[in-house]
């Protein structure tokens, strides 16, 4: 369909190009006569101009742009091409009109410098047009190629980033289970393994999709929270809370986008020696998804620069996936660290 449209577009252009050439000849040539300016002249001139136009735009111009032709060779070829085709056009028109005049009133047709000058001028005009067309086509092809390369680069980087997330998370979780197995009864260990199996199924199968429903993502986060809670005893002064406001069913995100925020809160916010809090809040509306994690600081102060690979990874993914459509804010004081992420879902 695209090729048919291109063919029709170019055909329309050349049909329209005949009109100004005809008018120009009428105004410029002293010997112009409607009877002698035959269909042959129009067709010949149009074909010659088309040869000049497409030879330059589709063959010569691309070669000089990629340095396959030197500038000198390019200019020489163009001059020879235009000169040769101008002569061919001039002699062809002259002899055809000369012998076809037998059917008319013996109108005298002469081969003059005036005619060659006009023909050369028209051919040069279409040569200039071919530059505009050729540069536009090459620019468009370059833009298409750049977009494709950028898309390929984004997909490659996302694959690498996802590949970093999954083993990173797995090793952290296995360390937690190891600690539980040393301190807890067998039932806790069994629950831990069950939660881990559920989460690994999500990691293995669900995260291959480009988009994941927010409902599934939150369910996964809840499983992660439940798994983390198994580390703590009832006597530990730890509060973990997840508040959800708004609909989850009609929202979608890239997989594993919110988990690094939650993981970071548990990594830096839990202490068994003092009261610890992790307050998670999710809010959605028609235009955005807002996720906030607020946690006490268990150890020394930490900043966005040294808070681990998880958040660095998150920043890169957000820059690739939601460029210009997200806000990531981090604030902290002596007691609390807060990270908020807003993703704008409208186009």
Dump pLDDT digits (tens) for 208-232: 667 888 998 898 899 889 888 878 8
Confidence of residue 309 (pLDDT cuts 50, 70, 90): confident
**How far, rounded to the nearest angstrom, does the alpha carbon of residue 83 sit from its chain's CA centroid?**
44
Axis crossing angle, helix 39-54 with helix 2-28, rounded to the nearest 10: 120
What distance in Å separates the CA atoms of residue 11 and residue 264, rounded to the nearest whole number? 63
Task: Using the CB atoms, write b or e for 38-48: b if 16+ within 10 Å.
Answer: beebbebbbeb
pLDDT band at 193 (very low <50, low <70, confident <90, very high): low
Tokens representing residue 60 in the block: 């010569």
**Strand-pair category, 288-296 with 276-284:** antiparallel
Contact 244, 282 (CB under 8 A): yes
Domain boundaries, the chain: 2-146, 184-344
**Which stretches of the chain are DSSP H helices?**
2-28, 39-54, 61-65, 71-100, 113-183, 186-205, 214-229, 259-269, 309-321
Pull the structure tokens for residue 45. Answer: 């001139």
pLDDT (0 to 100) of residue 103: 42
Fold of 184-344: Heat Shock Protein 90 (3.30.565)
Q: Which residues contact 246 (CB under 8 A, 6 or more apart)?
A: 282, 283, 284, 285
- pTM value? 0.49
């Amino acid at each position: 369909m695209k090729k048919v449209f291109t063919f029709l577009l170019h055909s329309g252009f050349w049909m329209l190009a005949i009109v100004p050439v005809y008018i120009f000849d009428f105004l410029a040539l002293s010997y112009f006569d409607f009877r002698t300016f035959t269909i042959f002249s129009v067709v010949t001139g149009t074909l010659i101009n088309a040869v000049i136009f497409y030879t330059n735009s589709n063959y010569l111009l691309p070669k000089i742009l990629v340095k396959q032709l030197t500038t000198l060779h390019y200019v020489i070829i163009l001059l020879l091409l235009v000169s040769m085709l101008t002569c061919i056009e001039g002699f062809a028109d002259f002899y055809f009109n000369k012998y076809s005049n037998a059917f008319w009133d013996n109108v005298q047709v002469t081969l003059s410098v005036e005619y060659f000058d006009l023909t050369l001028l028209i051919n040069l005009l279409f040569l200039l047009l071919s530059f505009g067309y050729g540069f536009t086509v090459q620019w468009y092809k370059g833009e298409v190629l750049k977009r494709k390369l950028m898309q390929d680069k984004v997909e490659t980087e996302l694959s690498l980033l996802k590949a970093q997330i999954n083993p990173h998370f797995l090793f952290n979780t296995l360390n937690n289970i190891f600690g539980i197995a040393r301190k807890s009864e067998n039932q806790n260990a069994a629950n831990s393994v069950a939660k881990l199996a559920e989460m690994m199924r999500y990691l293995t199968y669900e995260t291959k999709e480009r988009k994941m429903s927010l409902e599934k993502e939150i369910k996964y986060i809840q499983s992660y929270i439940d798994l983390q809670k198994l580390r703590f005893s009832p006597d530990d002064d730890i509060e973990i809370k997840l508040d959800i406001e708004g609909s989850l069913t009609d929202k979608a995100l890239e997989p594993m986008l919110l988990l690094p925020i939650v993981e970071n809160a548990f990594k830096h916010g839990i202490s068994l020696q003092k009261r610890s809090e992790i307050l998670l809040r999710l809010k959605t509306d028609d235009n955005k998804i807002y996720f906030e994690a607020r946690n006490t600081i268990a150890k020394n102060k930490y900043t966005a620069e040294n808070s681990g690979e998880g958040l660095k990874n998150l920043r890169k993914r957000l820059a690739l996936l939601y460029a210009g459509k997200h806000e990531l804010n981090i604030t902290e004081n002596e007691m609390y660290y807060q990270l908020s992420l807003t993703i704008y879902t409208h186009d």
